[in-house]
């Protein structure tokens, strides 16, 4: 896990205190699994992570209100973060990319 990904895991762990945050990297996606009520996934494109500092990535999570969105959801959500903002995708998104 690179330094930026580790900082995102720490940020998400603080946002979802008491809930496990798992990380994996595959298919050019940083994937974060959050066990908060229903299971949530955050996918962040490698190019987006590579093109921003850890502080900028943290600011993106805050600006897009990722933690608030997931904490208030009654269903599992899968969110893709990138240059265009945030997009809700299906649970298979990270496995379908080539």
Radius of gyration, alpha carbons of the chain: 12
Please give the model's pTM, rounded to 2 decimal places.
0.89
Q: What is the pLDDT of residues 49-64, one digit of tens each?
A: 999 999 999 999 999 9
Q: Is 96 a residue whose pLDDT tops 70?
A: no
pLDDT, one tens digit per residue, over 4-59 is: 999 999 999 999 998 999 999 998 999 999 998 899 999 999 999 999 999 999 99
The domain segmentation of the chain, as residue ranges, is: 3-92
Residue 81 contacts residue 62 (beta carbons within 8 Å): no
Q: What is the DSSP string of 13-50?
A: HHHTTTS-EEEEEETTEEEEEEESSSEEEEEEEHHHHH
The whole-number pLDDT of residue 31 equals: 95
* Predicted local distance difference test score (pLDDT) of residue 66: 95
């Amino acid at each position: 896990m690179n330094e930026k990904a580790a900082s995102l895991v720490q940020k998400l762990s603080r946002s979802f205190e008491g809930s496990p945050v798992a990380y994996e990297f595959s298919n050019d996606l940083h994937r974060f699994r959050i066990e908060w009520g229903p299971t949530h996934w955050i996918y962040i494109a490698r190019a987006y992570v590579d093109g921003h500092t850890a502080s900028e990535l943290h600011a993106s999570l805050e600006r897009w209100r990722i933690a608030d969105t997931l904490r208030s959801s009654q269903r599992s959500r899968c969110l893709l973060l990138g240059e265009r903002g945030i997009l809700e995708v299906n649970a298979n998104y990270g496995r379908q990319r080539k």
